[in-house]
């Protein structure tokens, strides 16, 4: 981290090393999160690049692993923090033969039988901890996460307190399916990732689609802008859909978004049957 001297340098390295085009606001928030050792909370519509940003940061930070905790309703400590390998403990008791084996009990609650779940795994080695879609988790999990974000340590009654020797770079993401508690946001630096503007989307497309004609990249970016207008679609397209569309056109041998090509590539953009007419219309309009 010490060799990144500012947001501009971080943005350049994200692009050069990981192929991620971050705007200045995102690069600045991530740079400050690194320097201040604070989690980074990213909100935005699905498909704007929140998860891929965490993956890109792992590359820039030396190719460290991304430890992903996918949030869902009912997520609890045994799934997020740690658990015990109960089958293996039972096998150890059975191998010892008959008897009460009270003398073996201390041996059953050691590191040998500890199962590291994502949060503990990220605390015990250099990593990017990605808490993905935290808005899908319950309030109870948010309360559980608060202690970790405060102290970067986990209390394991049988072993004591396990502390992070090196704090992970933490990225929390939310699609705003519900409001995340303010207590979580107060512990984080916050950034809203918007859909890219036309120029940046064209650059992203050139990064991800080989031999992409400039006119086609421009047509795809313009179509995406139209489809992201408020209330235009049930499921507006993200950057991934733009890349899929451009790739599909090239796979079909196309150089432009002709009517035939547009008809054939609707499936790369529309993710709901009611959105198909809007997609056809946007792809058929002149740039």
pLDDT over 60 (residue 258):
yes
Partner residues linked to 174 by β-bridges: 43
Q: What's the angle, vertex CA 50, arms to CA 83 and CA 11, rounded to 5?
A: 120
> How does pLDDT run across 132-189, given as a tens digit for each residue?
999 999 988 998 998 898 899 999 999 999 999 899 999 999 998 899 989 999 999 9
Helix (H, G, I), strand (E, B) or coil at 79: helix
pLDDT over 70 (residue 1):
no
Instruction: Round to whole Å and give the CA distance between 180 and 176.
Output: 8
**Mean pLDDT over residues 19-40, rounded?**
95
Burial class (CB in 10 A: 0-12, 13-18, 19+), 68: middle
Quick one: tokens of 37?
């050792």
> How does pLDDT run across 78-115, given as a tens digit for each residue?
999 999 999 998 888 777 777 666 777 778 889 999 99
């Amino acid at each position: 981290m010490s060799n990144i001297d500012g947001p501009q340098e971080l943005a350049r390295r994200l692009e050069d090393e990981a192929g991620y085009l971050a705007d200045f606001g995102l690069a600045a928030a991530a740079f400050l999160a690194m320097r201040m050792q604070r989690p980074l909370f990213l909100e935005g519509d699905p498909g704007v690049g929140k998860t891929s940003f965490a993956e890109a940061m792992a590359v820039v930070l030396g190719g460290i692993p991304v430890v992903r905790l996918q949030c869902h309703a009912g997520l609890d400590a045994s799934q997020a923090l740690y658990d015990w390998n109960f089958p293996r403990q039972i096998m150890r008791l059975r191998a010892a033969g008959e008897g009460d084996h009270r003398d073996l009990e201390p041996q059953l609650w050691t590191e040998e039988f500890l199962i590291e779940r994502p949060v503990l795994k990220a605390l015990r080695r250099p990593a990017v901890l990605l808490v993905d879609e935290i808005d899908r988790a319950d309030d109870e999990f948010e309360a559980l996460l608060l202690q970790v974000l405060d102290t970067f340590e986990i209390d394991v009654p049988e072993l004591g307190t396990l502390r992070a020797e090196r704090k992970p770079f933490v990225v929390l993401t939310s699609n705003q399916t519900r409001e995340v508690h303010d207590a979580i946001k107060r512990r984080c630096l916050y950034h809203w990732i918007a859909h890219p503007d036309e120029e940046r989307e064209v650059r992203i497309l050139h990064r991800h689609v080989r031999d992409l004609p400039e006119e086609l990249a421009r047509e795809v970016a313009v179509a995406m802008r139209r489809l992201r207008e408020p209330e235009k679609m049930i499921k507006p397209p993200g950057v991934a859909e733009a890349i899929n569309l451009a790739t599909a056109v090239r796979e079909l041998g196309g150089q432009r978004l002709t009517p035939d090509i547009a008809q054939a590539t609707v499936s790369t953009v529309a993710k709901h049957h009611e959105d198909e007419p809007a997609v056809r219309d946007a792809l058929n309009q002149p740039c």
